[in-house]
Amino acid sequence: MSSSREQSVADAFAELSDTLVADFDVVEFLHTLAVRCVDLIGVQAVGVMVADQRGGLRVLACSSEESRLLELFEAEAEAGSCADCYAAGRPITVRELDPADPVRVAGFRAVHALPVRLRDDVVGVLGLFATTPGAMSDADARTARALANLTGLALAQHHAVEYRQVLAEQLQHSLTSRVVVEQAKGVLAELLGLEMAEAFTELRRFARRIGRRLSEVAADIATGDYPPDPPEPAAGRSRMILICRFDRLVLRQLRAAIRAAVTRHGLNMSQTEAFTLAVHEAAVNAVEYGGGTGQLILWRYAGSLYAEISDDGPGLPPGYRISEEPPGLAPGSSRGLWMINRICAGVDIDSSRAGTHLLLRYPLLAAVSGWPAVAPRPRAGGEVPGGTTR
Amino acid sequence: MADGAHRDRVIRLVATHGPDVTRLCDACVAELPGVDGAGLSVMTAQRGQHVRHTSDRISARIEELQLTLGEGPCQDAHSGGQPVLATDLGHLAWRQRWPMFTTEALKAGAAAVFALPLHVGVVRLGVIDLYRSEAGVLAGDELSEALAFADAAMELLLAEQMPGTGERLFTQHAAVHQATGMVSAQLRIPMAQAFLRLRACAYAGEVGLDEIARQVVDRRLRFTLPEVDQQP
């Protein structure tokens, strides 16, 4: 094993075990593990499957969320090398797939299936697809085995006396989380016009951006904002109010949709106008300076309304800072941002050449008078994540 | 395959005991030696959470306690979306988790409660509570059989909510859940309703749920609102 390879294996294990220590999300963790697995081993696709306690295997994570690959792993989990590996409880390698095998048709040549063990039980399978035929090298096989063991640890965090009962609960929980993630992917794919793999990437980006767990954000997106559920979400949860893409032609409708949505969430008339203005202004900026189209996500969480307005680039100039002083009357993005900054309690910019994500927070209980309503400002100016300043 | 065996078992349970979900619950008690009684509480948009069936006095008490106290395995299974397998209500861990419920449930004669959520992602149909009068685990095969009963109960509850759609559509493929999410967004309806619409569409078209789901995910099939689109 070359030293650079040793280093990357060590780095990956350090990253993964750091995640395991914290309060982690099993679906996201196993996705990361599957991606690292592809990076480290000479294989091109990885699927993580777990026992569903009904005698079968279900796919919990994939190195790519592309629908076609997910379906290949689903088929493998039902009847294929991975299903055989689970039934036999030992590794199974198919060095050269049959030309008619759907996995071969999809462009792969070999399958390596490793059992995921926990004490005496086989709780899942790590499935590896390679585009080159033949067995894995010894080094790759060792790394794969270590990753399979790590998968087992991730699936059972507690080691209680009634270990199998707790394991059963946790495996079922992870399977439910996976279903919720699929439902949320469907919602995002439809509302944002994305492919399933892109929908997963967006879900993951958004969850990280707001610092919440993937499965919880997925559950909030999949649940949506429907009566008779109260607009106020349960503690620790958020209510997703509006998710859409927009362009110049629909800006007017967008404004009406924002107003209608936030009215339901208890803002008074001047607050509604102010917040609608801020979000709309950000959307106008996205259209004017961010490539003509944009994306809005509007939600309620922990006593505040939040809006994230995103565009597709080219990003704000490096070191950009929102002026605290009123700008001149000339039209331009700085005026829009200045006003948004005045209205909202929190403005957070994450900008790169790939696009700008503007995150706005507006407290629901702010005592406001006059117009434009100015919410309390916890802090003035300062550094924000994403390399730029507001 | 083993997975196919589970599917066959669910289909058999549905065919033998359906369409009445309460008969299925009674069959569950009769067929599982480690289970002394069953209670079913269901969620509906109209009535919220309510008790649909209890097999005896003790299971009636278990359901009643959880609704009045707001704590217990059923409540946790419902909010957490995972089975809650309380093998010994007298054990400190469970007593600390539900101080009021454990005391009263033990008094009523239940020593272990196994709560199985009837959930498909965020589609929450209800929870089955199985109890036994002696502490102990739901051993390997019994757990998978209990899960088969839970899956069958879910099929029956779905069939009830959209009558005439049959119950032969059992499937758990990712595309089905993705399509449900897309239909929910297309029609702006909650996930539970979208799931029912998708099943009804498959039934009406006499095609499998998987096939309908694939058409939706591939954007060959779209569910549309009758009125003009107002939102961007």
Asked if residue A347 belongs to a domain, the reply is yes
Chain A residues touching residue B1 (CB < 8 angstroms): 56, 78-79, 83
Looking at the structure, tell me whether residues B187 and B97 fall in a common domain: no
Looking at the structure, tell me whether residues B15 and B127 fall in a common domain: yes
Asked if residue A355 belongs to a domain, the reply is yes
> Which of A179, A253, A255 to mutate to test binding with chain B, by most B CBs within 10 Å of its CB?
A179
Which residues, 6+ apart, have CB-to-CB distance to A317 below 8 Å?
none
CB-nearest to A176 from B3, B82, B137 is B82
Q: Is A246 on the interface with B (CB under 8 A)?
A: yes
pLDDT digits (tens, 9 = 90+) for B186-211: 999 999 999 989 988 888 888 888 89
The whole-angstrom separation of Cα A296 and Cα B32 is 51
pLDDT digits (tens, 9 = 90+) for A229-238: 778 888 889 9
Asked if residue B92 belongs to a domain, the reply is yes
Q: Is A61 on the interface with B (CB under 8 A)?
A: no
pLDDT digits (tens, 9 = 90+) for A301-326: 998 999 999 998 787 777 777 766 66
Phi, psi of B90 (to 5 degrees): -80, -10
pLDDT digits (tens, 9 = 90+) for B94-104: 999 999 999 99
Looking at the structure, tell me whether residues B124 and B190 fall in a common domain: no
Looking at the structure, tell me whether residues A68 and A135 fall in a common domain: yes
CB-nearest to A56 from B2, B121, B173 is B2
Phi, psi of A129 (to 5 degrees): -110, 130
Asked if residue B201 belongs to a domain, the reply is yes
Q: How confident is the model at residue A12 (pLDDT cuts 50, 70, 90)?
A: confident
Looking at the structure, tell me whether residues B77 and B125 fall in a common domain: yes
Centre a 10 Å sphere on the Cβ of residue B170 and count the other Cβ atoms it contains.
17
Distance set, CA A37 to CA A61, A115, A195 (Å) = 12, 15, 24
pLDDT for A376 equals 43
Q: How many domains does chain A have?
A: 2
- Give the CATH number of the domain where residue A56 resides: 3.30.450.40
Looking at the structure, tell me whether residues A23 and A126 fall in a common domain: yes
- Give the CATH number of the domain where residue B88 resides: 3.30.450.40
Looking at the structure, tell me whether residues A30 and A108 fall in a common domain: yes
How close, in Å, is residue B232 to chain A by CA atoms? 6
Lowest mean pLDDT among A56-60, A204-208, B138-142: B138-142
Looking at the structure, tell me whether residues B23 and B96 fall in a common domain: yes
Q: Do B82 and A57 touch (CB under 8 A)?
A: no
Closest of A370, A376, A375 to residue A270, by C-alpha: A370
The whole-angstrom separation of Cα A253 and Cα A249 is 9
Looking at the structure, tell me whether residues A29 and A100 fall in a common domain: yes
Asked if residue B169 belongs to a domain, the reply is no
Residue A186 or residue A372, greater confidence: A186
Q: Is B201 exposed, middle or buried (0-12, 13-18, 19+ CB in 10 A)?
A: buried
How close, in Å, is residue A33 to chain B by CA atoms? 20
pLDDT at A21 over 70: yes
Looking at the structure, tell me whether residues B192 and B111 fall in a common domain: no
Q: Which residues of chain B have pLDDT under 50?
A: 1, 228-232
Lowest mean pLDDT among A116-120, A185-189, A366-370: A366-370
- Structural domain harbouring B202: 174-217
Q: How many domains does chain B have?
A: 2
- Give the CATH number of the domain where residue A344 resides: 3.30.565.10
pLDDT at A47 over 70: yes
